[in-house]
Structure 1
Amino acid sequence: MEPIQVVTSIMTPLDRKNVDTDQIISKEFLKRIERTGFGKYLFYHWRFDSLGNQSTEFVLNDSRFEGAQILVADENFGCGSSREHAPWALLDYGFRVIIAPGFADIFYSNCFKNGILPILLPQNEIDSLLTEGQQTPITLTIDLEKQTVTREDTNVVLTFDIDPYSRQMLLNGWDEISLTIQYEDQITSYEQRFENV
């Protein structure tokens, strides 16, 4: 996984509550066996009409937010099924950070496992970002080491909590396999002790 240390980007304001994993990546697009290539199907039924034309009403089709690496959403983001394809689609589309007042538990865990930083902020801060961000694009700087979210337009700095294990994994770009490899010498030593037993 690619490490996350500092991310500075325009944020995309997704002003919808209870966005479930089937809305993030619909079931008909889950046939791929790779983890890549899902980004073009992200929020597909909101981004496109039944004929495949872009919906001008949906925020991801707004050119002001093109290339954004930060998604700001409302409460209970990632609810529904436990499909890991949801963070795969978000990451493949280009989002490295998702900020919301609440996440579904399994989705929250899957973000960390796939190299996305999910940040919990209070509802009033989210409301402000969503409302103001739809009117004028807002650039945020996320500093994982300092655990801060800085609004570049106002210099307001917000702090967030993250458990030390998940923080270390994202800072180093480690998944569980990468973490295990850190102990390769000890594992080899342990195995050698029992080779002839």
Structure 2
Amino acid sequence: MSRAVDAQEPGEGLRRLYAPERPQGLGVPTSYQALYDLPTSPECLFQEEARRKTRTWGENLTFYTGVGFLSGATAGALVGVRRAAAEAERGESAKLRLHRVLNHSGTLGRSYGNRLGVMAMVFAGTESFVRYQRDGANDWVNTVAAGTGAGAIYHTASGPRAMIAAAVLGGVLSGAAVAARPVLQRFAPEIVARWDNL
């Protein structure tokens, strides 16, 4: 039970006010910081989840697609703002310039976001498939194979030459991401730890 303080307000009768700074009984913590001193490690409901080292295929699909769409939408919006600034003419009103910026950034943001989201979705599906075929192995081979496969699948309709070029580009980019991870882990371990916990 917490301590209550009697206080007399002008024009009011006697009333009881809660005083959280002076708790007593039942082992109530003496500071608010103790209430919010929570663990930073991920909490799992089942033991199977705690033993799992990677995301499931559904979590992978959702995560990569969301990150891809948001990254593409942001990049497209920035390109749209730059393009709108380049097309601006002397003597235009601020309202017309604002509409041009909104139109360009909305159109390009949506287009880039959709493209990158679809590429990320294909990458996540390919990576889960490769991991399944390798009996759950989770190493750099999965990432490079997924990048190569995603590039090839995404450009399948463009013909064999474009498909091969996109597969090579996807493999090189995913290999660069794998090679950059140790460097990032050395100089920014907090970012890598948060990325792993997502």
User: Normalising by the residue count of structure 1, what TM-score does the alignment of the two structures yield?
Assistant: 0.22
Higher strand fraction (1 or 2): 1
User: Normalising by the residue count of structure 2, what TM-score does the alignment of the two structures yield?
Assistant: 0.22
* Greater C-alpha Rg: 2
Task: Tell me which of the two structures has the higher relative contact order, counting C-alpha pairs closer than 8 angstroms and 6 or more residues apart.
Answer: 1
